Amino acid sequence: MSAAATVVARESLAEISAGLEHASPQEILRWAVAAYFPKLTMATAFGAEGCAIIHMLADIEPRVRIFNLDTGYQFAETLELRDRIAERYGIVVEYVRAETTVADYEALHGGPLYNSQPDQCCFDRKIVPLRKAIVGYDAWISAIRRDQTAHRKTAGIVEWDKKFGLVKVNPLANWTKNDVWKFILDHGVPYNPLHDEGFPSIGCWPCTRAVTGGDDDRAGRWRGSEKKECGLHLKE
What are the tens digits of pLDDT across the range 160-192? 999 999 999 999 999 999 999 999 999 999 999
Based on the residue annotation, tell me whether 204 is a catalytic residue of this protein: no
The one catalytic residue among 51, 122, 204, 230: 230
State the pLDDT at residue 6: 46
- Answer yes or no: are the C-beta atoms of 207 and 114 closer than 8 Å: yes
| Count of CB atoms situated within 10 Å of the CB of 232 | 17
Sign of dihedral through CA atoms 103, 193, 212, 48?
positive
Query: Are 30 and 60 contacting, i.e. CB atoms less than 8 angstroms apart?
Result: yes
pTM, entire model: 0.92
Q: What is the CATH number of domain 3-207?
A: 3.40.50.620
Tell me the residue length of the chain. Answer: 236
pLDDT of residue 216: 76
